[in-house]
Amino acid sequence: MNVKQLYTNCLAQGAYYISHNGEAAIIDPLRETRPYTDLLKQNNDTLKYIFETHFHADFVSGHVDLAKATGAKIVFGPDAKTNYDSYIAKDNEEFKIGGLTLRVLHTPGHTLESSTYLLLDENGKPHCIFSGDTLFIGDVGRPDLAIKSDLTQEDLAGMLYDSLRKKIMTLPDDVIVYPAHGAGSACGKNMSKETFDTLGNQKKVNYALQNLSKQDFVKELTTGIAPAPQYFAKNALLNKDGYKNFSDVMQAGANALDIATFEEVRANMKPIVLDVRKPEEFAAGHIPGSLYIGLDGQFAPWVGTVIHDITFPLLIVAPVGREEETVMRLSRVGYDNSIGYLKGGFDAWKTSGKEIATIENVTADQYVDLYKKGISTLDVRKPGEYDANHLSEAINKPLDYIFDWMGEVDQNKKYYVNCAGGYRSVIAASILKANGYHNLVNVLGGFGAIAKTGVETCATACSKS
């Protein structure tokens, strides 16, 4: 028996490869099919099934393309309806993978079609569950992402309570829990950084599996849910209805443009110029008006959060050699309209003598000296991060909602911008600059560096609200 977790840190997402006696199944694959077809070749396995735990909202799954490439059957749990060929399983229906058995447990709550897959070994003993967004390590799925449902989040939370207690908690304690996500995903509130655990341990440490009444569970689950990123509903529909062929997306995006052609396309199509280099490189010099979201951070989720039109054309400025990676990672969240990249990257632009924009930086020590003299600070971290510790005079303006609060910021005033480590602050500065805000200074190292200077913060001196 071979069970392999394929974990992608950028999306905090787990896909799974199961094989036995030459047959294989894949659960919740990412958009690109190559890693899975390579595994099939390496193991000399035939892909029999592609199982989806639900219609994912935070990424576009690769099930449609993978089925076309391999002839495998796409399987969803009860209540799913798709606009492509798929098999809708019944509750407790079983599927054979070699000598193994995968049993469908319908576990609605996160969404109506959410299902958990129980893997039984050759002897019929429960080995593990692939719990999707029903049960995470340390948390459970948010109940507000169902597609076009008349049910309230309280209704769905109540369903999840029953699913956990009737379908999952009745399983043996030594069953391994393999969830679809870990820490960093917006599909839950408090996920662990661990990517698997035993069910027995989760019964001890996971708040959602404690001896709660349904009323208390629903209240706990529906309190403090941040609004879902705007791209979630769009990704869920792509997973339900289908999407562009991945190879076509890659071919269109992997289009090297010299500077003259790049400028011509930019003038004619008015695309977003997306710069994906390191934050310090973008601050030191970038194409005026370009948007920064770095590949080496949580790239795909931030693309989905701050680029609101999923169909808008994108021109890419990437480190040389990482252009196709950029197109691929954009496609993971349904941004399939990359139309090319700048050949030679930003160095080619700089060498040509074209106009360059910059963002002023200060070190944390320099910032603290200025802060004590009275300056304006935008802290673009999430509200929970800000509440945990911040400078008393810093204004919390979360990057997630930048287009909601942008109009409240004075274009004629100078602002120092910080996040936790210096990644999100550059994203925020790039968006503000592109919208006419030019008196911005980025704090290198973010609040993490600021706190190390010894400056008085609300963790030690302020009353928290």
Which has the closest alpha carbon to 226: 185, 193, 192? 185
DSSP string computed for 33-82 = -HHHHHHHHHHT-EEEEEE-SS--SSS--SHHHHHHHH-PEEEE-TT---
Amino acid at 440: L
* 446 contact partners, CB below 8 Å, separation of at least 6: 418, 419, 420, 421, 422, 423, 424, 425
Q: What is the DSSP letter of 206?
A: -
Same domain, 114 and 199: yes
* 342 contact partners, CB below 8 Å, separation of at least 6: 257, 259, 262, 315, 316, 317, 318, 348, 349
pLDDT (0 to 100) of residue 189: 79
Q: Report the Cα–Cα distance between both ends of the chain, in Å, rounded.
A: 53
pLDDT in tens, 401-424: 999 999 999 999 999 999 999 999
Q: Is residue 462 part of a domain?
A: no
pLDDT (0 to 100) of residue 461: 57
Same domain, 221 and 249: no
* Residue 319 confidence (pLDDT) above 70: yes
- Average pLDDT across the chain, whole number: 95
Q: Is 169 exposed, middle or buried (0-12, 13-18, 19+ CB in 10 A)?
A: middle
Which has the closest alpha carbon to 190: 369, 44, 334, 12? 12
Per the structure, the complete domain to which residue 81 belongs is given by 2-234
Q: Read off the CATH number of the domain in which 390 is found.
A: 3.40.250.10
Supply the pTM of this predicted model: 0.92
Same domain, 217 and 98: yes
Q: Which of 294, 321, 351 is the last residue of a domain?
A: 351
Q: What is the 3-state secondary structure (H, E, C) of 69-134?
A: HHCCEEEECCCCCCCCCCEECCCCCEEEECCEEEEEEECCCCCCCCEEEEEECCCCCEEEEEEECC
* Residue 96 confidence (pLDDT) above 90: yes
Q: Do the beta carbons of residue 128 and residue 119 sit within 8 Å?
A: yes
Same domain, 36 and 127: yes
Q: Is residue 465 part of a domain?
A: no
Give the C-alpha distances (Å, rounded to integers) separating 293 from 83, 423, 429, 440.
33, 8, 11, 17
Q: Is residue 45 part of a domain?
A: yes
* Residue 15 confidence (pLDDT) above 60: yes
Binned at pLDDT 50, 70 and 90, residue 184 comes out as: confident
Tokens 């047959």 correspond to what residue? Answer: 23
pLDDT (0 to 100) of residue 76: 98
Q: Is residue 460 part of a domain?
A: no
pLDDT (0 to 100) of residue 465: 43
pLDDT (0 to 100) of residue 383: 92
Q: Which of 326, 351, 376 is the last residue of a domain?
A: 351
Q: Is residue 459 part of a domain?
A: no
CA distance 145 to 222: 12
Same domain, 77 and 195: yes
Please give the average per-residue pLDDT across 349-370, as a whole number: 96
* Residue 180 confidence (pLDDT) above 80: yes
pLDDT in tens, 277-313: 999 999 999 999 999 999 999 999 999 999 999 999 9
- Gyration radius of the chain over CA positions: 24
pLDDT (0 to 100) of residue 185: 87
Please give the average per-residue pLDDT across 374-397, as a whole number: 95
Please give the average per-residue pLDDT across 9-26, as a whole number: 96
Question: Per the structure, how many domains does the chain have?
Answer: 3
Binned at pLDDT 50, 70 and 90, residue 187 comes out as: confident
Q: Read off the CATH number of the domain in which 73 is found.
A: 3.60.15.10
Same domain, 380 and 304: no
pLDDT (0 to 100) of residue 464: 44
* Residue 135 confidence (pLDDT) above 60: yes
Tokens representing 431? 């968006």
Please give the average per-residue pLDDT across 58-72, as a whole number: 97
pLDDT (0 to 100) of residue 395: 96
- 3-state SS class at 226: coil
Per-residue burial over 8-22, b if 16 or more Cβ lie within 10 Å, else e, is: eebbbbbbbbbbbee
pLDDT (0 to 100) of residue 145: 87
pLDDT in tens, 43-56: 999 999 999 999 99
Q: Is residue 239 part of a domain?
A: no
User: Assign residue 320 a region: left if phi > 0, alpha if psi is -120 to 50, beta otherwise?
Assistant: beta
Same domain, 313 and 426: no
CA distance 30 to 73: 16
pLDDT in tens, 138-159: 999 999 988 877 889 999 999 9
Q: Which of 297, 317, 351 is the last residue of a domain?
A: 351
Please give the average per-residue pLDDT across 126-132, as a whole number: 98
Same domain, 367 and 425: yes
Tokens 């304006």 correspond to what residue? Answer: 376
Please give the average per-residue pLDDT across 24-52, as a whole number: 97
Binned at pLDDT 50, 70 and 90, residue 462 comes out as: low
Q: Is 38 exposed, middle or buried (0-12, 13-18, 19+ CB in 10 A)?
A: exposed
Which has the closest alpha carbon to 226: 333, 114, 145? 145
Same domain, 61 and 168: yes
Same domain, 393 and 432: yes
Q: Is residue 423 part of a domain?
A: yes
Same domain, 319 and 297: yes
Please give the average per-residue pLDDT across 351-371, as a whole number: 96
Binned at pLDDT 50, 70 and 90, residue 459 comes out as: confident
pLDDT (0 to 100) of residue 190: 79
pLDDT (0 to 100) of residue 463: 47
Same domain, 48 and 79: yes
- 3-state SS class at 370: helix
